[in-house]
Amino acid sequence: MAKKRPQTTATRPQLSDAEIPVVGAREPCPCGSGRRYKACHGRAAAHAATELVHRPFEGLAGEGDWVALRELVPAATVELTLKDGLPEGVPSVTLATVLPMAWPALRRDDGTVLLGLQNDTASGDISRDLADTLQRALAAEPGTPVQARRAPADSPRLQDLLDPKGPFEPVVHDGFEFWVQDAENATPDVTASLERANAAAIPTVKLTGVDSAYWCETPEKNHLRWVMPYPEEQLLDALARLHAAGRSSLGEGTRLVGSFRAHGLTVPVWDLPSGVGAEDVEKPAAEFAERLTTALASEAPLTADERRARGGLTNRQVTLS
């Protein structure tokens, strides 16, 4: 009868989930389980990479402006406030719509950090990806950009890093000159990127009288795009009530034409005559906000005309993300 082999105890050091490196899907999992990575720790990583967070900016100050700067505004910056304060050697952290060369983030020579918002992200949670990029930028050597990567599944989100009571006040720029502190010493690549970005930028202005509303100018006509924080179904009902009653415009020649759906929020869009500027819609937008508040509070069933108006608005809704 064959002798039983003595049992041995594995000497591989135990790793926490956070320490398990990413390897090929068919390779042995680094945790030492003996299974392939895709069937072990890779399963959770793959799930985290594909699971979509529909409202990634929920809980942050200025959620509507986060959505607008991510999807609608060409050139803007916002000073960010961290929960734990700024690390030593980091004078400020600034969110920017776009950075030169499409860098996810940049640690400038003086230690300041710029975080890009409009970059592609590796997972379905933009907040987690941005937080990972921000943390790496805070620790980067001055004068270096931060490259993209897939954030660990258990890493913090922006909601964990940013002060929820801190101000979120976007500054919209005519161009991207905020990229460079010294234009004369900018590299040729950055200069060329700046010229391309400025040529493509659409003139945009943030309204001051209502939240998260942005006027923009195009060659054919101007538009107002207004990110609204209300539940989608309730908002569409309210817009339909106003539209059916002929009260959804922002003045003569303006028209509510539809909406975007972006990051869990609805963005109604108005066409404006080319001669109507941002200052011209400030008062009409404030008046519309009052009408919308009343319509949102209504619990009456939609009439036949209101249902038709709602159907028209729904058919003209486009999902951006």
pLDDT digits (tens, 9 = 90+) for 104-144: 999 999 999 999 999 988 889 999 999 999 999 999 999 99
> Cα(192)–Cα(13) distance, rounded to whole angstroms?
50
Residue 157 sits in the same domain as residue 227: no
Domain boundary among 137, 165, 200: 200
Do the domain assignments include residue 232? Answer: yes
Report the pLDDT value the prediction gives residue 9, as an integer from 0 to 100: 41
Q: Is the pLDDT of residue 309 over 90?
A: yes
Report the pLDDT value the prediction gives residue 313, as an integer from 0 to 100: 94
Contact criterion met (CB below 8 Å) for 196 and 204: no
Q: Is the pLDDT of residue 49 over 60?
A: no
Average the pLDDT over 182-193 and give the result: 78
Say which CATH number the domain at 219 has. 3.30.1460
Residue 288 sits in the same domain as residue 262: yes
**What domain count does the chain have?**
2
Do the domain assignments include residue 239? Answer: yes
Do the domain assignments include residue 54? Answer: no
Residue 227 sits in the same domain as residue 268: yes
Confidence band for 248, pLDDT divided at 50, 70 and 90: very high
Contact criterion met (CB below 8 Å) for 141 and 122: no
Domain boundary among 200, 220, 235: 200
Residue 227 sits in the same domain as residue 136: no
Residue 234 sits in the same domain as residue 196: no
Residue 296 sits in the same domain as residue 240: yes
> Cα(264)–Cα(60) distance, rounded to whole angstroms?
14
pTM recorded for the entire structure? 0.83
Instruction: Tell me which residue of 49, 177, 176, 33 sits closest to 120, measured CA to CA.
Output: 49
Its domain, for residue 195, covers 63-200
Residue 105 sits in the same domain as residue 230: no
**How many C-beta atoms surround the C-beta of residue 231 within 10 A?**
13
Instruction: Tell me which residue of 224, 241, 214 sits closest to 298, measured CA to CA.
Output: 241
Q: Which amino acid belongs to residue 59?
A: G
**For the segment 62-98, what is each residue's pLDDT rounded down to a tens digit?**
999 999 999 999 999 999 999 999 999 999 999 999 9
Q: Is the pLDDT of residue 53 over 70?
A: yes
Of the listed ranges 138-152, 184-198, 260-274, 301-315, the least confidently predicted one is: 184-198
Mean pLDDT, all residues of the chain = 89
Q: Is the pLDDT of residue 193 over 90?
A: no
Confidence band for 145, pLDDT divided at 50, 70 and 90: very high
Report the pLDDT value the prediction gives residue 38, as an integer from 0 to 100: 62
